């Protein structure tokens, strides 16, 4: 399984997203531009230019007609995938760390930091309803004396809930009909939960935490079903849409590397069996922490993006599909 190396950005990769057909992949970085690539050969299809600072997140509509990006320049921008032109800019009052289309692509959520006196917030916007103000704003209410931000946010089943994690390791679940307070608070992690990721059916979600564990939850009753021990700080996790497995990635940051033993295995991504919680494989390649990874939408491959500025695009060999779970 030899990867295709995508090198179109000069700085650390921050996000990547496959389209529904898995023939395109969108990648963002701490550059002010982001890219779209063909997944079969790694050819770059185009560059989206318009942000003035690091691009933190990207998502693409189901029909691949439009995509949306979130940036440190206080804006989320809607783009035409066909010609790369900006359609609309949704102004925020803080850097935008997360964007995601809801089911049906009529709404999207964004997540903004708490800076310049603004509370850390998750917003829900109507895609075609104008961008003057969001339809919903969820401001973080925390009893912690330390200043904390949201770390990740995603829509739950049928866009009825929003699952958001924070830097204190807490996961908060909000009902979009009444966002004054979370309907569920999960405190299973002890450190920052960097990512919350749903499976395609939105029946399960997995977390990735700096406490070196990933946890699998039921997306309806929020019961913790499984725990995967990674041994190093986790940045990202993904659930396979095809097989009973999950993929985890992370690694210590630059400060941590200077105080710990680093080796060839420091930044390996690991596969775990979804049910039995056992490690079933691993893959290396990045020479820095893995910031983001994802299975392709069809489950026939995966991609990883690292602090080294590279995206590694993998297509599974035929033997992968012949083996039993």
Average pLDDT of adjacent 10-residue blocks, the chain of 325 residues: 92 97 98 97 97 98 97 97 96 96 97 92 90 90 79 97 96 96 97 97 98 98 97 96 97 60 74 97 93 97 96 94 75
Tokens representing residue 269 in the block: 């991504």
Relative to beta strand 150-155, strand 161-166 is antiparallel
pLDDT for res 266:
81
pLDDT for res 259:
47
pLDDT for res 252:
80
pLDDT for res 256:
54
3-state secondary structure of 110: strand
The rounded distance, in Å, linking the Cα atoms of 220 and 174 is: 12
Q: Is the pTM of this model over 0.85?
A: yes
Tokens representing residue 23 in the block: 């023939």
pLDDT for res 257:
53
pLDDT for res 117:
86
pLDDT for res 35:
97
Contact (CB, 8 A) for 231 and 248: no
Contact (CB, 8 A) for 89 and 75: yes
Contact (CB, 8 A) for 88 and 104: no
Strand runs labelled E in 23-130: 24-29, 33-38, 44-49, 55-60, 66-71, 75-80, 86-91, 96-101, 107-112, 121-126
The distance from CA 32 to its chain's CA centroid, rounded to whole angstroms, is 18
Contact (CB, 8 A) for 227 and 236: no
The distance from CA 18 to its chain's CA centroid, rounded to whole angstroms, is 11
């Amino acid at each position: 399984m030899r990867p295709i190396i995508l090198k179109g950005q000069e700085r650390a990769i921050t996000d990547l997203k496959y389209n529904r057909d898995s023939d395109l992949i969108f990648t963002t970085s701490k550059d002010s531009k982001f890219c779209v690539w063909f997944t079969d050969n790694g050819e770059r299809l185009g560059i989206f230019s318009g942000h003035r600072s690091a691009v933190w997140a990207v998502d693409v509509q189901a029909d691949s007609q439009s995509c949306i990006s979130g940036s440190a320049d206080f804006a989320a921008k809607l783009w035409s995938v066909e010609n790369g032109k900006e359609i609309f800019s949704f102004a925020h009052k803080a850097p935008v760390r997360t964007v995601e289309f809801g089911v049906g692509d009529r709404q999207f959520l964004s997540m903004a930091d708490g800076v310049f006196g603004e509370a850390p917030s998750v917003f829900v916007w109507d895609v075609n309803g104008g961008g003057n103000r969001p339809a919903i704003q969820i401001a973080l209410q925390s009893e912690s004396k330390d200043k904390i931000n949201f770390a990740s946010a995603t829509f739950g089943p049928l866009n009825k809930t929003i699952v958001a994690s924070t830097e204190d390791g807490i996961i908060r679940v909000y009902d979009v009909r009444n966002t004054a307070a979370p309907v569920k608070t999960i405190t299973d992690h002890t450190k920052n939960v960097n990512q919350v990721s749903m499976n395609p059916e939105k029946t399960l979600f997995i977390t990735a935490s700096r406490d070196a564990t990933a946890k699998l939850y039921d997306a309806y009753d929020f019961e913790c079903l499984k725990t995967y021990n990674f041994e190093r700080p986790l940045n990202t996790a993904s659930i396979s849409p095809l097989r009973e497995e999950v993929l985890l990635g992370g690694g210590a940051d630059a400060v941590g590397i200077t105080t710990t033993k680093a080796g060839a295995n420091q930044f390996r991504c690991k596969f775990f069996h979804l049910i039995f919680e056992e490690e079933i494989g691993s893959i290396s390649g990045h020479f820095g922490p893995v910031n983001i990874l994802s299975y392709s939408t069809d489950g026939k491959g995966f991609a990883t993006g690292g602090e080294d500025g590279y995206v590694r695009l993998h297509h599974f060999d035929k033997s992968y599909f012949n083996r039993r779970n």
